[in-house]
Amino acid sequence: MRALIQRVSSGSVIIDNSTVAKIERGLVILLGIAPGDGEEQARYLVEKIANLRIFEDADGKLNLSLLDIGGEAIVVSQFTLYADTRKGRRPSFTDAALPEIASPLVDRFAELLTAQGIPTQKGVFGAHMLVNIANDGPVTIWLER
């Protein structure tokens, strides 16, 4: 499982000119699922993301977590995080999980974030989405389990 997290001042997901997710301060989480991923990987990354100290305190130091600031999250499924570009010019996505495996795990990941006390919204699995990210910092972190 791979997560590309971006600290945002705002973020949204738009599908067919309709906003399906919108947050203010928090994280946009682009989530890739591999064939062998399951509950263990989801729980690990959720706990890590919820408690990762990447928000500034009063002294400007990165000492606060998403939980500390009462931030929100948007989870966007992104199979392209498993792109293999070693051969040719067209990426291969054979390392990404099939939709029947990935979709329920993306939902479970979002449920686990919510259970941590983080208001969490999602994109729509498999949809063509316009993801707006106002990256704050910029702070972008790659996590993998």
Q: Which residue among 6, 41, 55, 79 is the active-site one?
A: 79
Residue 88 pLDDT grade (very low, low, confident, very high; cuts 50, 70, 90):
very high
CA atoms within 13 A on the CB side of 121: 19
| Residue 136 pLDDT | 97
**What mean pLDDT is predicted for residues 75-101?**
96
Q: SS3 of 23, please?
A: strand
Q: Report the CATH fold assignment for 2-47+73-136.
A: D-tyrosyl-trna(Tyr) Deacylase; Chain: A; (3.50.80)
Is 80 a catalytic site residue? yes
Is 120 a catalytic site residue? no
Residue 58 pLDDT grade (very low, low, confident, very high; cuts 50, 70, 90):
very high
Residue 8 pLDDT grade (very low, low, confident, very high; cuts 50, 70, 90):
very high
Query: Mean pLDDT of all residues in the chain?
Result: 97
Is 78 a catalytic site residue? yes
Locate 109 and state its tokens: 């990941």
Angle (nearest 5°) at CA 52 between 71 and 102: 80
Q: Which residue among 6, 78, 120, 121 is the active-site one?
A: 78
What does the alpha-carbon distance between residue 103 and residue 112 come to, in Å, rounded to a whole number? 14
Is pTM beyond 0.85 here? yes
| Residue 31 pLDDT | 98
Answer whether 9's CB lies under 8 Å from 53's CB. no
CA dihedral 75, 77, 82, 85 (to 10 degrees): -110
Residue 107 pLDDT grade (very low, low, confident, very high; cuts 50, 70, 90):
very high
| Residue 50 pLDDT | 98
In degrees rounded to 5, what are phi and psi of residue 109?
Answer: -55, -45
